[in-house]
Every structure is written in structure tokens, then in C-alpha cells.
A and B are shown apart, each in its own frame.
Chain A
Amino acid sequence: GQQLNQSPQSMFIQEGEDVSMNCTSSSIFNTWLWYKQDPGEGPVLLIALYKAGELTSNGRLTAQFGITRKDSFLNISASIPSDVGIYFCAGHLLSGNTPLVFGKGTRLSVIA
């Protein structure tokens, strides 16, 4: 099936630092979504992107839909301990009403 290449796989950062993670694909996507999953819970939607070039913020989080429609990034500014978790990118392929495809996730650890 279609794959999303998400990187980095894991990150260890100091509290207060900024974080950046991204997803790329060889296929064109018409939506990009970013989710966060805390232990023992389901993924929670952080940001949804629908147009190429779109830049959207949600508090300290900013995500962009790449111009080529094949990539997206998520930035977290001034990280805090509760940012710890696994972040997943996900997207719908351009070709019709297709299932949501997920990246493999980025595990974020914040050191106080």
C-alpha cells in the first residue's frame, strides 16, 4: 500500500526547545493531518491541512501542506513536558475517496 515516510523516528529534546518533524511520500495527497497519541489513548487530531501551501497554527503547533502535495511538516515551539507522546502524520491520497494512510510516527521525549 501507499507509504508515508515520517522522520525522525524519535527525538529527545530539552524543555523549551523547538521541534520539527516531517512526512514525505512519492504520491500526491489532497489532505494532510497531524495527530498526537498519548500512552493508553487513541490518536487526537492536532491540525488538518487541505490546500497545497497551507500553513496552519494551533497554539504552539504549526503545520504546512507542501507545495508539491507530497510532504508536510509539523513544528512545535517552546516544548513543554506535556508535549511528550507519539506524533503521526496521515493523509488522504489525491485519487478519490481513499482510506486515511498513516506515517510510522515520531516519538517525542522532552527532558525538563
Chain B
Amino acid sequence: SAVISQKPSRDICQRGTSLTIQCQVDSQVTMMFWYRQQPGQSLTLIATANQGSEATYESGFVIDKFPISRPNLTFSTLTVSNMSPEDSSIYLCSPKTCGQGNSPLHFGNGTRLTVT
């Protein structure tokens, strides 16, 4: 499976600020999924990012709050905008290549965000 690197690994941010999380994969992938894991909870899909097109957001998530970039096939960023304490979560990216059907997703270690 691909090696997935996320930066930062953790951060503590002030309310009202924004944080951009980077996800780097060591191979070219078609899709990048961004998940959120709130404290003590399961993983919830935020959006799916494809290169060259706007990300597709899941119900309850909007582009203004979670803008995503996908400049090439190995990299993506997720920004958590105008943060509030409710945004304190682990954010995880997961790559997938077209044609792999329902092959398992793999995750990096995520970004642990605390908003004060």
C-alpha cells in the first residue's frame, strides 16, 4: 500500500483561525478521501478530492468550511477554516486509485487538531 504522510501531526489552534493540513502520498492516486474523527467517535467522510475538479462534499460538510486542494496526483490539502472547539478532531486522508474497485482504504497517522 502507498505510504501516506500528513503534516502537521498535531496542532493546537485558537478559535477563529484556520489550519491547512497536507497529505502526501508516495505514488500517484486518483482520489483522495478526507475523513474526520471526533473524540471518541468513528470516522466520517468529509469529502472526496479528484485532481482537476472540485471536491465532492458529504452531507453536513461545505467547501467554505473545509476547502480542499488537489494540485497533483500525489498531494492534497484540507483547510479547516474559522475554527471553533467543535472542530477539535483527528483529520485523516486516504488515497485510492481508480480501477481498484472496493479495495481497502489505508490511512496515515492523521492530524490531531485541538481548538481552544
Residues of chain A touching chain B, judged by Cβ–Cβ distance below 8 Å, are 1, 30-31, 33, 40-45, 48, 50, 88, 90, 92, 97, 99-100, 102-105
Q: Does B58 contact A (CB under 8 A)?
A: yes
- Given the complex of chains A and B, what is the CA–CA distance between A100 and B103 in angstroms? 10
Q: Does B48 contact A (CB under 8 A)?
A: yes
A42, B33: Cβ atoms under 8 Å?
Answer: no
A1, B102: Cβ atoms under 8 Å?
Answer: no
CB-CB under 8 A from B42, the residues of chain A are 88, 102-105
CB-CB under 8 A from A103, the residues of chain B are 42
Q: Does B112 contact A (CB under 8 A)?
A: yes
B102, A104: Cβ atoms under 8 Å?
Answer: no
- Given the complex of chains A and B, what is the CA–CA distance between A104 and B102 in angstroms? 20
- Given the complex of chains A and B, what is the CA–CA distance between A104 and B41 in angstroms? 6
Mask for B93-116, Cβ within 8 A of A = 1, else 0?
000000001111111111010000
- Can you list the 9 inter-chain pairs with the closest CB atoms, starting with the nearest? A42-B107, A92-B102, A31-B102, A102-B42, A102-B43, A48-B104, A42-B110, A104-B42, A99-B45
**If A99-B33, A99-B48 touch, does A45 touch B110 (CB 8 Å cutoff)?**
no
B102, A41: Cβ atoms under 8 Å?
Answer: no
Q: Does B92 contact A (CB under 8 A)?
A: yes
- Given the complex of chains A and B, what is the CA–CA distance between A43 and B105 in angstroms? 10
Chain A residue with Cβ nearest B111: A42
CB-CB under 8 A from B53, the residues of chain A are none
B100 to chain A minimum Cβ distance, whole angstroms, is 10
**If A99-B45, A104-B41, A104-B42 touch, does A42 touch B108 (CB 8 Å cutoff)?**
yes
Q: Which of A33, A50, A99 contacts B58 (CB 8 A)?
A: A99
Interface residues of B in 82-96 (CB under 8 A from A): 90, 92
- Given the complex of chains A and B, what is the CA–CA distance between A48 and B102 in angstroms? 10
CB-CB under 8 A from A33, the residues of chain B are 104-105
CB-CB under 8 A from A102, the residues of chain B are 42-44
CB-CB under 8 A from A45, the residues of chain B are 1, 104-106
